[in-house]
């Protein structure tokens, strides 16, 4: 929060009350007066200085409703990189049938976001997945490049647990009730914070 506030002299920054991600993200989106709104997780690093400009241009040019990019974990173990790689492949392949994006990087057309009702605030898990599944494939894109994230979730929950959770999410993609129940995703040690970045 202090890091965000430190940019207050350059940008209009407001730190608002939140809760679970769906609640906090919706609260932020209601403040937005721009045509597009970008959602990112707290431990995401934008290492590519061209990504935001390219993303905005792609959304405008294609009249898209939602856009995302790949996820990388450069400092992680081989297993971390493998699981993120699988997620990236599935994300690209699914766009032709039933697209999905994660809250690590989601650029949304604000009008469409509002029309869909935003994130489901009843969701206890994968609210980003639920919302993005409502976007038509022709209005969805995965832009080349990537954002960087930490491997803290793998460290706190284990690779096998995360892989099972991803698999069960895919199997229950049409079962909304599954996402309204606590799947144990937020049960991590209170001391587990985003790892400090090692990238310039």
Angstrom distances, CA of residue 48 to CA of 36, 45, 144: 20, 9, 11
Say which residues have a Cβ less than 8 Å from residue 14's Cβ, sequence separation at least 6. Answer: 31
* Spatial CA neighbour of 112 closest among 196, 37, 20: 37
- Classify 21 in phi/psi space as left (phi over 0), alpha (psi -120 to 50) or beta: alpha
Laid out side by side, the sheet with 140-148 consists of: 36-39, 106-109, 66-72, 140-148
Beta bridge partners of 68: 142
Which domains are delineated in the chain?
34-179 (3.90.550.10)
* Contact in structure between 76 and 154 (CB atoms under 8 Å): yes
Q: In this predicted structure, what is the pLDDT of residue 1?
A: 66
Q: How far apart are CA 58 and CA 67, in angstroms?
A: 8
Full pLDDT tens readout for the chain, 200 residues: 677 778 777 777 888 877 888 999 999 999 999 999 999 998 899 989 899 999 999 999 999 999 999 999 877 788 888 889 988 998 888 887 789 998 899 999 999 999 999 999 999 889 999 999 999 999 999 999 999 998 888 888 888 988 898 899 888 988 999 999 888 777 654 444 444 444 44
Chain mean position to CA 97: 20
Concatenate the DSSP letters of all residues of the chain into one string.
Answer: -HHHHTTTTTS--------SHHHHHHHHHHH--SSEEEE--TT-B---TTHHHHHHHHHHHHT-SEEEEEEE-TTS-HHHHHHHHHHHHHHHHHTTTS----TTSEEEEHHHHHHTTSS-TT-SS-HHHHHHTTS-GGGEEEEEEEEE--SHHHHHH-HHHHHHHHHHHHHTTT-HHHHTS--STT---TT--PPPP---
Query: pTM of the predicted model, to two decimals?
Result: 0.84
Q: How far apart are CA 189 and CA 6, in angstroms?
A: 28
């Amino acid at each position: 929060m202090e890091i965000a506030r430190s940019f207050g002299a350059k940008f209009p920054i407001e730190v608002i009350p939140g809760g679970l991600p769906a609640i906090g993200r919706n609260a932020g989106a209601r403040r937005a007066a721009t045509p597009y709104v970008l959602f990112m997780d707290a431990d995401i690093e934008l290492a590519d200085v061209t990504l935001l400009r390219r993303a905005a241009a792609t959304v405008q040019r294609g009249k898209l409703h939602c856009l995302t990019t790949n996820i990388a974990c450069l400092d992680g173990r081989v297993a971390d990189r493998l699981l993120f790689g699988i997620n990236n492949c599935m994300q690209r392949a699914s766009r032709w049938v039933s697209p999905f994006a994660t809250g690590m990087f989601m650029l949304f057309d604000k009008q469409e976001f509002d029309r869909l009702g935003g994130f489901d605030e009843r969701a206890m898990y994968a609210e980003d997945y639920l919302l993005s599944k409502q976007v038509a494939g022709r209005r969805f894109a995965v832009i080349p490049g990537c954002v960087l994230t930490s491997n803290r979730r793998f460290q706190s929950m284990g690779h096998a647990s995360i892989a099972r959770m991803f698999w069960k999410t895919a199997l229950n993609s049409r079962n909304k009730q599954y996402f309204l129940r606590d799947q144990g995703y937020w049960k991590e040690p209170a001391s587990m914070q985003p790892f400090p970045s090692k990238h310039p």
